[in-house]
Amino acid sequence: MTTVHPFWIAGKSATSSQVADVTHPGDGKVVGQYCVPTSDQVVQAVQAAWDVRHEFRRTTAAQRADALMYVSKQLTDRAEEIAQLIVDENGKPLIWARSEASRAGMVFRWAAEEVRRFSGEMQRLDTEAATAGRMALIRRFPHGPVLGISPFNFPINLVAHKVAPAIAVGAPIVVKPAPSTPLSALLLGEILAGANLPEGSWSILPIDNADAPALVADPRLPVVSFTGSDKVGFEIQKAVPHKHITLELGGNAAAVILEDWNSEADLTWAASRIATFGTYQAGQSCISVQRVLIHDSLFPELSKRIVAAVAALPNGDPRDEKTIVGPMINEAAAMRVEEWVNEAVAAGAKILTGGTRNGSYYDPTVLVDVPKDAKVSCNEVFGPVIVLNSVSSTDEAFAIVNDSPFGLQAGVFTHNVQAAFRAHSELEVGGVIIGDAPTFRSDQMPYGGVKASGVGKEGLRHAMQDFTHERILVLSGLDL
């Protein structure tokens, strides 16, 4: 019998008469059901967040840290259960689902650690004769309740990246998970219910996307933290320009292989990392490797190795521990990728491996000779497709990286420290990864992009800063 999951209003479970199915992306079978909140229940959750905002802000750092550590431990203890749930609702291969479950536990642990350090700063003001005897205490306070909107591709870790920093700063949060993958977020609610947080400090509402604009517009939610497509993200920004908006949007991640990355070990490492992280979990990551820019001298050998590595990747049942790629979130997503690849081929691109679809599965694919204006080159594929390009210089490679509306992360394979610092200086992205694919992310580091990749940062302390504002207290008449 299929379990019907409740949702969470003001820290308490709730149900409704409307029930929705969650289906497995690979075979379409129903893997769970959940209750959909009514409009009145949504209003109740938002009002509860607004009403508790002052009480929650006044909780001690110790209270919030203890709650966050409780959640971290529960997530860690239940990691295998959560991983299996991610596989069921998202179709993510088990190897990556286990990684995501583990990361979510660490996000809450890092948040607990940051709470104890989030203390503000002192600033001497007696730097001029007119301000003698004065000092400033600069502290941060929440903007107010947060609306967190999370996507399907990381159904618990990206929810964690919204909930954990909100709790850390004492900001109530209302979470709207993706309708296709709400079960992991609802399980997180089950855990949060035992964390001894003030009533109203969090709610998890699996509403339909069509009902989200009313939440976005609600003045009782002055912060909107959105992760998803650039189209939807910028629509939110346009709709509520007076709110504090953080947007983690799309990418078109490039990996650059410079001339000095030329040993046997170098080429083996680069081929493996590019193949794996251009196609893992069916390429459904904003920092999945999409464009590969290889120096002319290395192109024949490295392109051959990348193609062989991609062709060898296990693609199939995500419940199989050996599977790396797996299905896309649904057949429509796979059909879109198929259409984009076919358009590129019609314009002159060549398929070196892959290029076929079976339902929601799209074979890991490598393309060459892709026109620069083809969708698979200039847009975000969000599928298991890698585009190879040959470049003659670092200048050319970096210019191509920057010739994109997106700017999330880039990877540069080089041993040259000067080239590494140049990449950091010149590449118009939020993060540069040296010696690895652009897909690397450690959850405590600042993560976010520029241009069409969004505004604001995730990564605990950085998200905590985004959810708060500075308030200055000036002390006068001090004997400094």
Residue 480: what pLDDT? 87
Catalytic-residue membership of 35: no
204 domain residue, yes or no: yes
Tell me how far apart the 2 most distant CA atoms of the chain are, in Å. 77
Given a contact cutoff of 8 angstroms between Cβ atoms, the answer to whether 154 and 96 are in contact is no
Find the catalytic residue in 89, 113, 114, 248. Answer: 248
| Number of structural domains the chain divides into | 2
Residues 42 and 185 in one domain: yes
CATH of the domain at 208: 3.40.605.10
3-state secondary structure of 117: coil
458 secondary structure, DSSP code: B
**Given the residues 114, 286, 331, 378, the one annotated as active site:** 286
End-to-end CA distance of the chain: 71
> Which parts of the chain sit beneath pLDDT 70?
1
- Quote the pLDDT of residue 2: 75
Structural domain harbouring 410: 254-442
Q: How far is CA 292 from CA 121, 269, 401, 410, in A?
A: 43, 14, 9, 10
Q: What is the mean pLDDT of the chain?
A: 97
Q: In what order do the strands lie in the sheet with 173-176?
A: 12-14, 7-9, 202-204, 173-176, 146-149, 223-227, 244-248, 454-455
Q: Tell me if 340 sits within 8 A of 381, measured CB to CB.
A: yes
Per-residue model confidence (pLDDT) at position 1:
63
Are 147 and 266 in a shared domain? no
Is-contact 9 175, C-beta < 8 A? Answer: no
Q: What is the pLDDT of residue 340?
A: 98
Residue 34 falls inside a structural domain:
yes
pTM of the model: 0.96
Q: Is 248 a catalytic residue?
A: yes
Domain annotation covers residue 480 = no
**Alpha carbons 313 and 134: distance in angstroms, whole number:** 64
